A and B are shown apart, each in its own frame.
Chain A
Amino acid sequence: MFKSNPIRTDRNITYIIKIAGYSCILFLALIFFFLLRNGLPALKDTGLDELFKTIWYPTEGYFGILPLLFGSLLVTFTAVLIALPFGVGTAVFISEIAPQAMKETLKPLVEILAGMPSVVLGFIGIVVLVPFMQKTFNLPTGLAALTGAILLGLIAIPTVVSIAEDAMNAVPQSYRQAAIAMGATRWQTIWGVTVPAARTGILTAIMLGIGRTLGETMAVMMVTGNAAVMPEGLNALIQPVRTMTATIASEMGEVATGSAHYAVLFFIGIVLFVFSLIINILASWVSTRGRKRSERILS
């Protein structure tokens, strides 16, 4: 007969949880080590001055990653500008305004949308959005940064909605009741009380949205045209761009292991890693600062 000793069970489970927790750190360290080991030779072999040039044609030895860097930033920034108002707006609607029945339908629908494979959206993009953009704005080609940004915005919106809505739902009902008791209108309650109280969660949602956009590969590769042009001015939005992720995805398969091109692709991986690190650090910095302030306001 197996009889469990509660103290021993407790200890074992604690161990398992500890291992799970530490393994996460271990994996992150391993990934970082792996990236550095494969990517740093690029600094030695190719050199920083070569890497920060503006022509990317790696099969002939042009390793300028600047067009890719700015391509990624341009598409990500524009996509976030699109996803932010729609995402937070939808979250406010679902959490604060929609009647119960609608809320219960909308939330799962948004979550299904969040789980949609991006290649499917890319396919829709290529068949519907690309010809539409070309005709509507009379562009030379619909395969452009803006098309990619719209698509990425659509991909990021469900992530933003889902997390922001959770955060607003977690705001205690008593806050809203207090606001209404003070004579605030519904809009004043949302803007002055609920949203500030859920600020941390909303910021997390936005940061995760940025992360999702920056890291997205398949959909951008299908609709942005992948031309490594340096973006110049606002016009760049309607021109093709090549992002860092699309470059890694489309070129990793062909490079000879250990070659200069291989190292440079890993170097791009390091750049992406650093970017998401910065976003995460910003997110935690802003949210801890935000929390103190909202706590001050609401206490």
Chain B
Amino acid sequence: MISQSLMLVQISLRNLLASKLNLLIGGLLLMGTFFFVFFGALLDTLSDSMSKSVVGSVAGHIQIYSSKSKDELSLYGSMGGDPDLTAITEFPKIKAALETLPNVKTVVPMGTSAALITSGNTVDLTLERLRELYKQRDGKSTNPSAVKLSPEEAAKQIESQKGHVRQIVKVLQGDTEKAGVMLDESKTDADAKAALTKVAGDEFWQNFEADPYASMEFLENKIAPQVTDGSLMFLRYVGTDLDTFQKSFDRMEIIDGQRVPEGRRGFLIAKFFYEEFMKLKNARRLDKIKDGLATGTRTIAADADLQRFVKENSQQTRELVLQLDSIKTTDAVGRLQKLLGDDKESDLGTLLARFFTMTDENFAVRYAWFYSDLAPLLELYRVRVGDTLTIKAFTRSGYVKSVNVKVYGTFSFTGIEKSPLAGQISLMDLMSFRDLYGYLTSDNTEELKQLKANTAAKDVTREGAEEALFGEGTNNVVAEATPGLIDEKKELSGVAKILRQEDLIRRVYNQKEIEGGVVLNAAVILKDGRTIEETIKQINALSEQQGLSIKAISWQQAAGMLGQVINFIKGLLLGFVAVLFLLAMIVINNAVMMATLQRTQTFGTLRAIGAQRPFVLQMVLIESVVLGLVFGAAGMLLGTIAVAVVGKVGIPAFNDYLYFFFSGPKLLPVLNAWNLLVAIVLVLIATTVSTLIPAINATRVSPLAAMQADE
């Protein structure tokens, strides 16, 4: 029996190269297995690294949200804006329940949203500093962290800030003149122009000290709106229990500043976002040029993008000019003159334009000089670590609410620092988040309680509302409603004081307070990330059983469209491989059919000399299977080699989004044994199925066929 099979295998091996058609079939099978193994490995690795990016940055393995929600949770936002989620009010109960599941490590409460924040423009910022200086001089300052200045120092700084404003006015006047040349004179706003002329004149500044506050108000109202460098920024953030978050997402790393102290309110800006959107644009462009040059393949001389950065830098120096007050301007001019070896040119804008006109030769020196000599004079970031950020958002009921949160630092996730998707999401404490969206926090619950107590308000049921309001009962409300009876100041004292933002920033919340309020969703971190689907089932079952009203979804679903991308690509690959195999099957079917016809005499002979039908069936099938195995194995081998080579070299993330998908600068595909197995099984199925009919036909060849003359 073994000898028989060996002989059959030998026959098929020798028949393999006998026909050119076999080579075509083999080629198709080879390609199919190659694609399956190579791209399968690529996609699996991609899926893995993407899961690292998503799971490791914000999603956790599983996300839960209220099952009563109208929309599905989508962490990175979706087409129609933020999903409409019903708030989870009993988070501690849910957390406790979920943590009884063996695979659940921890549950991190969250709320994801986005808001527009405006960074004030240069005039606003300068005037704010000026106002603070005057307040200090006049002993009216409310800023506890202000440094006490000597009267001489204060006067000097006031003069410098005023000089700064005058410089801004000069730049603005230049702009208006340029605009006047291009536009019809009548189109420019006469009022704005008059204000500018007034402020540009000496008279305004001579009279400034007479009423500095009025003068500053004039500047704020008439000049600041003309400066257009302030910008709106779309900030996406997750409100979360920062302590648990920092502990659970261990790839998170503080880059600037520090962690938000335990239990405090605070904000951490994603480093990528901080660099990309909050940094001084000229500095950001210098960084990008440096990154470009660091690849070793790009040069300013040859790369259009780098040239564009250089051009934009030398043309857009206004932001820098506006930032510098008169003292700093003189300083900067001096330093630039020295660097450029030109002591005649004294216009800062011209000097900067010349400085930023960089070439491959002088870039390294000028880049270093920018950060060592010029940057200390500038505000490199619109928001500094330690600043308080005002975030405005629409609450769920539609009114605008704003909170002030202190920025403690910036952070990124190791491995995906450059990813714009992971780097888009900043972090906020849950209390501020709840405030911002009009949910009750422990603070305003307390406030409400005190208000109720002080105003003798009481809960009224719907049924009893009429009676309570119109006084059928013992309380004669009308008689007691004397004007001035409620002293607002008195009622709100205490609570109002506690609620002052400064104090809120310093307040330390305990875990019960943090978890006790509303959350929108929560990340479930698992001990074993491989059994996500199973755990989702357990969570959903638990929710059903205990009436938790939550729904669990995988990180992939939570990532919304992003998570589907990988499935989409996988589908494409499978489709492609399926088409290849289908094609192979059709060709195999035809080829074997033809081969059977050609070999009628052989089959007849075999039958005549005593081979039973199953033997012939075996013979044809084994031939196809051997064909499949040989070329399939070749395809697998090629695929394996390709994976190994690419796995060593890596596919570079040539754009920032790939950084996220690759979970790092390179994708290093790893071979998946499962893919090899599936590939070979597919090949075997394809060859067997497509050969079955011709093989059965071959068994029907009569031994009489052997008697026909000539092969």
Q: Do A and B come from one complex?
A: no
